[in-house]
Amino acid sequence: MKIAFCSDHGGFELKTKLIGFVEEMGHEVYDFGCYSEASVDYPDFAFPMAEAVARGEYERGIAVCGTGIGVSICCNKVKGIRCALCGDVLSAELTRRHNDSNVLAMGGRIIGPETAKAITKAWLSTPFDGGRHEDRIGKISAYEEAH
């Protein structure tokens, strides 16, 4: 799978660890930045990453900032993105199964690297259940088209 990453300075350290972990899992990775712990604005990295996922250049994206909140808000402004902020494995599994989320957000100052790796592994390996959930995703897509 092709996975896009982005972070701000608050998520840089965790993003760097996750990139190596995801590559070890056999996925192809692209880093949209940032590239250091110097203070930056998360929208400058979250929007381009989410847009690339929405265009289909990457199958999924992972966004990390200090809390995960800012990047998740940005990503969800992009048409076609269903970004889920997760701090536990069950939420990661359920957002894939029920919401077909295509971007995962996490907080680098909120969760540790081992928890983030477990969340990432679950999120990348869990399929969308389809069925009754497809109708719900369809309603989200129809709303996006209308607005």
Domain ranges for the chain, please list them: 2-146
What is the value of pTM for the model shown?
A: 0.97
CATH class, range 2-146:
alpha beta
CA distance 75 to 24: 26
Q: Phi then psi for 29, rounded to 5 degrees?
A: -125, 140
Q: Based on the residue annotation, tell me whether 86 is a catalytic residue of this protein.
A: no
14-55 pLDDT, tens digit per residue, is 999 999 999 999 999 999 999 999 999 999 999 999 999 999
Report the chain's mean pLDDT, rounded to a whole number: 98
48-74 pLDDT, tens digit per residue, is 999 999 999 999 999 999 999 999 999
Residue among 6, 65, 74, 86 flagged as catalytic: 65
Q: Based on the residue annotation, tell me whether 65 is a catalytic residue of this protein.
A: yes
Residue among 9, 75, 83, 98 flagged as catalytic: 98
Q: Phi then psi for 92, rounded to 5 degrees?
A: -65, -45
CA distance 120 to 93: 10
pLDDT band (50, 70, 90) for residue 98: very high
pLDDT at 127: 98
- Residues 61, 85 contacting (CB under 8 angstroms): no
Of residues 80, 77, 91, 78, the one with CA closest to residue 120? 91
